[in-house]
Chains A and B, each alone.
Chain A
Amino acid sequence: MEADPTIVVPALLAAAGLTPRPDELAVMIADFPARAEEIAKLYAVPEARYEEPALIFHAEL
């Protein structure tokens, strides 16, 4: 079941302590499904299944 953006987006923003204006919140809610679809496509790349992430970390400073 897909998450309802009218619930998820305000909840995530509130958890982050962010207080957008109502018109800004409406745009973020409207944009959320497209972004969720983009993220789903990232998980659907089969070659990424056993790939290492491109993160930056060195044991020595």
Chain B
Amino acid sequence: MYLTITEAAAALRAGDTTSVALTEAAYAAADAHDETLGVYLSRFDETALAAAAKADAELAGGTDRGPLHGIPLGVKDIITTEEGETTAQSLILDRSWGVGDAPVVARLRAAGAVITGKTTTMEYAIGTPDPDKPFPIPRNPWNTRHYPGGSSSGTGNGVAAGLFLGGLGTDTGGSIRYPATSCGITGLKQTFGRVPKAGCVPLGYSYDHIGPMARSAEDCAAMLTVLAGHDARDATSVDRPVGDYTSGLTGSLAGMRIGIDMLLDRSPMTVPELQPALEAAVAELTAAGAEVVEVRLPLYDELTSATMIGLAAEAYAYHQPDLGSRWADYGAGTRTAVATGALVSAGDYVQAQRVRRVGQRQVAALFADVDLILTPTSACGAPEVDKLTLGHIIDALHTPYWNALGNPAMSVPMGFTHDGLPLGLQIVGRPFDEAAVLAAGFAYQQSTSWHLQVPAL
């Protein structure tokens, strides 16, 4: 199996492989490892192989749909596809909801991508896995006693383990970036509104994003180029021009000024390996031409709370009817997490939305001085599955802050803990400046190989 979309795309055009061969290799990896890792909720072998054969025929006939043509990709099972029902990994969701392809899936397909199946998630993208429910428990390919992160767990561990070359995740408080850092891959939560989220089961309406997950920033750029763009079916979709996000990937960061807040004192779970890993990342970015300066993120606790409290309230509004009548059918971690929304008053919710505006202004002032901001994605490696609590996850993550603000934020691999679990660097840009985020991630990955490390399975 090729490691990256970019590498596989080149091999396709050189005649070194075919889309059918890539798809068969992806399914062979799934046959070997899915039972252990819990990547898929459903596989689309028949339609995927047919799509792969069509992609091969098109390429042979001179039709090239671009870098995703013939590439096997997974889709988180809260996003609809035409092949089958969407479950949200839940007994609750009405299976008749969401017929056909979500706009993001339709765009991937139009670009020639091969959709291999639907991947595991936390139920409704929130909570923790419940072993009493009839769904796989996703595990980390770097150490299967550990969690792969969530809620886009199956897309994260599937990319890391080679079950597909990329895929779709969603991110409301960090659900793309958390599995990305945990599994040692790259994941991008682009600007809120940049990618339409119609056809996606909502969690927090004003915090949700659909975004790309793959091994490299270059692969995420190729996917975002296809995914981005306005769609009126999403009321929060923004109508702004979309560029080719791969064209700015030069490897040089000359003239770029980058702020870093290591946030070492912001989590009780910060591991000692984190600071040297961040310092090494700063050295690499400096060598690429950037000037890196220390900054302090304003309203860190308040904006993190504005995400967690606001999304709980929004999720509760969506789930209230079922939560009242079918409590036991929800997973234990999901129902208690969503029920906290019943403990948030309407006034508290509005106050969280007011603090978001204040945060936008203060962080925009920070971005007047720097082009990008770096933080760790998480304070530590992924926890053990058996010791997992939502509180543990939230305490470790440095991702929810950016959901309150909407800025593009990408996690790239930046090393390992002493016990072999991946760590991630979070790169954040100004709203709608995904190009700068991707350029920095690409430059970093030109001089490091963390994103190309493959777990032994």
| Contact indicator A20/B335 (Cβ below 8 Å) | yes
| Contact indicator A48/B327 (Cβ below 8 Å) | no
Question: What separation, in Å, do the CA atoms of A54 and B301 have in the docked complex?
Answer: 18
> Does any Cβ of A come within 8 Å of B302's Cβ?
yes
Question: What separation, in Å, do the CA atoms of A42 and B348 have in the docked complex?
Answer: 8
A residues near B348, Cβ cutoff 8 Å? 39, 42
Shortest distance from the beta carbon of A36 to any chain B beta carbon, whole Å: 9
> Does any Cβ of A come within 8 Å of B342's Cβ?
yes
Query: For residue A9, which residue of chain B has the nearest CB?
Result: B343
- Chain B interface helix/strand/loop/mixed: helix
1/0 per residue, CB under 8 A from B, across A13-51: the answer is 101111110001001100110010011011101011001
Question: What separation, in Å, do the CA atoms of A26 and B103 have in the docked complex?
Answer: 42
| Contact indicator A27/B299 (Cβ below 8 Å) | no
Shortest distance from the beta carbon of A29 to any chain B beta carbon, whole Å: 10
Contact residues, B344-377 vs A (CB, 8 A)? 344, 348, 350-358, 360-362
Question: What separation, in Å, do the CA atoms of A42 and B358 have in the docked complex?
Answer: 11
A residues near B355, Cβ cutoff 8 Å? 42, 45, 48, 51
| Contact indicator B302/A53 (Cβ below 8 Å) | no
| Contact indicator A45/B343 (Cβ below 8 Å) | no
| Contact indicator B305/A24 (Cβ below 8 Å) | no
| Contact indicator B358/A48 (Cβ below 8 Å) | yes
B residues near A28, Cβ cutoff 8 Å? 336, 339-340, 343
> Does any Cβ of A come within 8 Å of B205's Cβ?
yes
A residues near B351, Cβ cutoff 8 Å? 39, 42-43, 48, 53
From A27, A35, A48, A53, B336 is in contact (CB under 8 Å) with A27
Given A18-B327, A19-B327, A41 and B339 touching (CB < 8 A)? Answer: no
> Does any Cβ of A come within 8 Å of B283's Cβ?
no
- The total of chain A residues at the interface (CB under 8 A) is 31
Point out which of B309, B336, B343, B350 has the most chain A C-beta atoms below 10 A from its C-beta.
Answer: B343
From A17, A55, A56, B324 is in contact (CB under 8 Å) with A17
Shortest distance from the beta carbon of A3 to any chain B beta carbon, whole Å: 11
Given A41-B305, A42-B355, A16 and B206 touching (CB < 8 A)? Answer: no
Question: What separation, in Å, do the CA atoms of A19 and B324 have in the docked complex?
Answer: 7
| Contact indicator B342/A58 (Cβ below 8 Å) | no
> Does any Cβ of A come within 8 Å of B92's Cβ?
no
> Does any Cβ of B come within 8 Å of A4's Cβ?
no
Point out which of B301, B352, B355 has the most chain A C-beta atoms below 10 A from its C-beta.
Answer: B355
Question: What separation, in Å, do the CA atoms of A31 and B343 have in the docked complex?
Answer: 11
B residues near A20, Cβ cutoff 8 Å? 327, 335-336, 339
A residues near B205, Cβ cutoff 8 Å? 56
Shortest distance from the beta carbon of A48 to any chain B beta carbon, whole Å: 4
New A-B contacts (14) at CB < 8 Å, excluding given A28-B339, A38-B308, A38-B309: A12-B343, A18-B324, A18-B342, A20-B327, A28-B340, A35-B343, A39-B309, A42-B354, A45-B302, A47-B362, A53-B350, A53-B351, A53-B354, A53-B357
Binding site for B on A (CB under 8 A): 8-9, 12-13, 15-20, 24, 27-28, 31-32, 35, 38-39, 41-43, 45, 47-48, 51-56, 58
8 interchain residue pairs of minimum CB distance: A53-B353, A17-B324, A16-B342, A38-B305, A54-B356, A47-B358, A48-B354, A51-B354
